[in-house]
């Protein structure tokens, strides 16, 4: 009760100060929206997870440029494509800062300035450069093999109707891959799960909005919400305990293989600009700063991509015609799939260069990102000097955000926007063939912005697109995917760190070429092959044919196998 009283009084005082500060340059007003007090009360009485419908209501009431204050500063929300382009591309320098937070140093929270530039350039040129990304193709192949094997193992033919909850496997695959790129080591399943646990604990609780109040009023929040602050510190310590030994081992035994340059190797050698460096560390990143950077790398590249992968696969399950069309394209380029091999055996997978010859695959991935962007808003940007947009004042220090999902769903820009139609990326509105060659950066015009746009655009977009194309193509090549009998495919959403499937995809999978290995009916488990052959020789065909016809069901023709 006391806490609430203090919050309401603080909000009133803040409202008074704010109206003095932000309304000072009279004449132009802020974009329309609810009052400062009602915005913050809405925020405090609703979970951050429910914010999206509230903002959408405000958009229909006030239009595409809204003021919805969060904390002390006004927050502006933009829902219009050309306004987003005007702000992020044409006036990028003014809108590319970030609000101050209590987060440790990393790229996404760094102010727009020399340290951000250095950290971002390091990631872009040392890890995400196409030649470095290519040098990790062996790692993608290794993880893909594990993923295919895990799916194959979990697929229980006897209970095939139950389907597989695939998202856990997708998350594990993306985590294993990014952990390898981050620390340069092939870790065991237990270690990977431990890293995933500390990362997710932090993400889920931050995503739930439990710490929003600490971001809104950092100094006051630490005093008023001491338990939350302690909980935040505890999560940070847990993460440090797991990640610091991995970082230290790479410092103590530096990498000598130029083929395996991990993200952490590049961070060890970085020198921050003098004014920004932590005192006494000679310009180098501290252990805690390295944890923050590695943690950002893992968060940014795993949850987003596995979420997008699940949405895309869900749509391919829901639309068998699109799945068949994609499979046909893949087969035209690389031929029919081999039977899945055991993990130790070499197995051919789709070569990454061949992905370039699959325009429909690219269209499927883009359509997935348009219809289900993992982030429905970008990270908040901060305005560095007062500017005018559409006749409204956007004051210095205001935060600005963008309705990412709504831009991809805008009926003025997209026909049947809520339908999953990859064909829209094969041809543009003027009838020109674009064959999946859409510009996601939005530099010439923003039609959708799943990776943001402008100077703060996601630096991992090319890597993410490669991962999505590679995994979708191989998963469709190896298996035919159908809906689970009990669950179907429900495309309802739920907000976590990203916007995930409320009811995760449960899919039944059928190896497209399974005659080579581990058939759905395991002979050896039931009779033993030798015993079976003996029985056949002795005329026991009747008994055998009841349970095994001598032919494995063909998933493309056998109705039981569907």
CB of 199 within 8 A of CB of 239?
yes
Selected range binding ligand HEM among 236-244, 411-419, 447-455, 554-562, rule: CB under 6 A: 447-455
> Residue count at the site for ligand HEM (CB under 6 A)?
24
| Rounded least distance, CB 436 to ligand HEM, Å | 16
| Rounded least distance, CB 65 to ligand HEM, Å | 17
Q: Is 75 in the site for ligand HEM (CB under 6 A)?
A: no
| Rounded least distance, CB 103 to ligand HEM, Å | 12
Beta partners for residue 378, in sequence order:
none
DSSP H stretches of helix in 282-420:
287-318, 320-334, 359-371, 404-408
Nearer to ligand HEM, 295 or 482 (CB): 295
Helix (H, G, I), strand (E, B) or coil at 211: coil
CB of 161 within 8 A of CB of 486?
yes
Neighbours of 519 (CB within 10 A): 17
Nearer to ligand HEM, 11 or 206 (CB): 206
- 268, 379, 413, 513: which one contacts ligand HEM (CB under 6 A)? 379
| Longest Cα–Cα distance in the chain | 100
Q: Is 422 in the site for ligand HEM (CB under 6 A)?
A: no
Selected range binding ligand HEM among 184-192, 319-327, 392-400, 446-454, rule: CB under 6 A: 446-454
Tokens of 379: 């990270």
- Residues 524 and 266: their CA atoms lie apart, in Å, by 51
| Rounded least distance, CB 278 to ligand HEM, Å | 20
Strand 499-501 to strand 493-495: parallel, antiparallel, or no bridges (unpaired)? Answer: antiparallel
Say how many Å lie between the first and final Cα of the chain, rounded. Answer: 58
Nearer to ligand HEM, 128 or 358 (CB): 128
* Lookup result for tokens 């809108």: 95
- 179, 300, 355, 448: which one contacts ligand HEM (CB under 6 A)? 300
Q: Is 221 in the site for ligand HEM (CB under 6 A)?
A: no
Selected range binding ligand HEM among 146-154, 161-169, 254-262, 459-467, rule: CB under 6 A: 459-467
Q: Is 306 in the site for ligand HEM (CB under 6 A)?
A: no
Selected range binding ligand HEM among 196-204, 270-278, 310-318, 371-379, rule: CB under 6 A: 371-379
Q: What would the x/- binding string for ligand HEM be over residues 259 to 298, using CB under 6 A?
A: -------------------------------------xx-
Angle at 513 between CA 512 and CA 514, to 5 degrees: 110
| Rounded least distance, CB 319 to ligand HEM, Å | 21
Nearer to ligand HEM, 301 or 511 (CB): 301
Angle at 359 between CA 356 and CA 363, to 5 degrees: 120
Q: Is 506 in the site for ligand HEM (CB under 6 A)?
A: no
Strand 381-382 to strand 399-402: parallel, antiparallel, or no bridges (unpaired)? Answer: antiparallel
Beta partners for residue 67, in sequence order:
76
For helices 461-478 and 287-318, the axis angle rounded to 10 degrees is 40
CB of 25 within 8 A of CB of 388?
no
Handedness of CA 490, 201, 47, 411 (dihedral sign): negative
Nearer to ligand HEM, 179 or 300 (CB): 300
Q: Is 372 in the site for ligand HEM (CB under 6 A)?
A: no
- 7, 58, 196, 375: which one contacts ligand HEM (CB under 6 A)? 375
SS3 of 449-467: the string is CCCCCHHHCCCCHHHHHHH
CB of 278 within 8 A of CB of 289?
yes
CB of 403 within 8 A of CB of 422?
no
Q: Is 503 in the site for ligand HEM (CB under 6 A)?
A: no
- 67, 122, 305, 323: which one contacts ligand HEM (CB under 6 A)? 305
User: Which residues ranging from 92 to 151 are in contact with ligand HEM (CB under 6 A)?
Assistant: 107-108, 120
| Rounded least distance, CB 191 to ligand HEM, Å | 20
* Contact positions vs ligand HEM (CB under 6 A): 107-108, 120, 296-297, 300-301, 304-305, 308, 374-375, 378-379, 450-452, 456-460, 463-464
């Amino acid at each position: 009760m006391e806490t609430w009283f203090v919050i309401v009084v603080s909000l009133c005082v803040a409202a008074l100060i704010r109206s003095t500060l932000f309304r000072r340059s009279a004449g132009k007003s802020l974009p329309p929206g609810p009052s400062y007090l009602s915005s913050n009360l809405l925020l405090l009485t609703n979970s951050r997870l429910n914010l999206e419908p509230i903002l959408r209501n405000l958009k229909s009431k006030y239009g595409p440029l809204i003021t919805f204050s969060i904390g002390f500063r006004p927050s502006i929300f933009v829902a219009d494509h050309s306004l987003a382009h005007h702000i992020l591309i044409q006036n990028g320098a003014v809108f590319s800062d970030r609000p101050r937070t209590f987060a440790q140093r990393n790229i996404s929270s760094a102010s727009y300035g020399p340290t951000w530039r250095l950290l971002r350039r390091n990631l872009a040129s040392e890890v995400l450069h196409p030649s470095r990304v290519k040098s990790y193709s062996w790692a993608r192949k290794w993880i893909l093999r594990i993923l295919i094997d895990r799916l194959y193992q979990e697929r229980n033919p006897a209970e095939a109707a139950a389907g597989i909850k695939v998202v856990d496997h997708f998350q594990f695959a993306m985590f294993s891959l990014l952990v390898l790129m981050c620390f340069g080591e092939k870790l065991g399943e237990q270690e990977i799960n431990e890293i995933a646990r500390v990362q997710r604990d932090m993400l889920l609780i931050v995503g739930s909005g439990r710490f929003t109040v600490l971001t809104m009023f950092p100094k006051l929040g630490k005093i008023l919400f001491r338990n939350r602050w302690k909980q935040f510190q505890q999560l940070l310590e847990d993460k440090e305990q797991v990640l610091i030994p991995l970082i230290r081992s790479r410092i103590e035994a530096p990498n000598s293989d130029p083929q395996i340059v991990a993200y952490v190797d590049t961070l060890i050698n970085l020198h921050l600009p003098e004014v920004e460096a932590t005192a006494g560390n000679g310009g180098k990143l501290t252990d805690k700063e390295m944890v923050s950077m590695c943690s950002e790398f893992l968060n940014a590249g795993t949850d987003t991509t596995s979420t997008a992968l699940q949405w895309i696969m869900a749509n391919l399950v829901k639309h068998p015609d699109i799945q068949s069309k994609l499979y046909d394209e893949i087969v035209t380029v690389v031929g029919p799939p081999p039977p899945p091999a055991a993990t130790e055996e070499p197995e051919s997978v789709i070569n990454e260069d061949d992905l370039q010859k699959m325009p429909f695959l690219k269209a499927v991935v883009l359509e997935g990102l348009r219809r289900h962007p993992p982030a429905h808003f970008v990270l908040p940007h901060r305005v560095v000097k007062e500017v005018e947009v559409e006749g409204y004042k956007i004051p210095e220090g205001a935060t600005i955000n963008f309705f990412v999902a709504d831009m991809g769903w805008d009926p003025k820009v997209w026909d049947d926007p809520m339908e999953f139609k990859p064909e829209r990326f094969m041809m543009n509105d003027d009838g020109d063939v674009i064959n999946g060659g859409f510009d996601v950066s939005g530099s010439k015009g923003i039609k959708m912005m799943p990776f943001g746009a402008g100077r703060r655009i996601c630096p991992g977009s090319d890597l993410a697109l490669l991962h999505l194309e590679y995994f979708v193509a191989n998963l469709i090549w190896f298996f035919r995917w159908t809906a689970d009998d009990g669950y179907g495919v429900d495309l309802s959403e739920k907000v976590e760190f990203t916007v995930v499937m409320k009811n995760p995809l449960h899919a039944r999978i059928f190896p497209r070429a399974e005659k080579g290995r581990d058939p759905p009916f395991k002979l050896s488990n039931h009779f033993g092959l030798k015993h079976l052959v003996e029985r056949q020789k002795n005329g026991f065909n009747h008994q055998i044919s009841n349970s095994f016809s001598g032919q494995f069901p063909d998933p493309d023709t056998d109705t039981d196998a569907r």
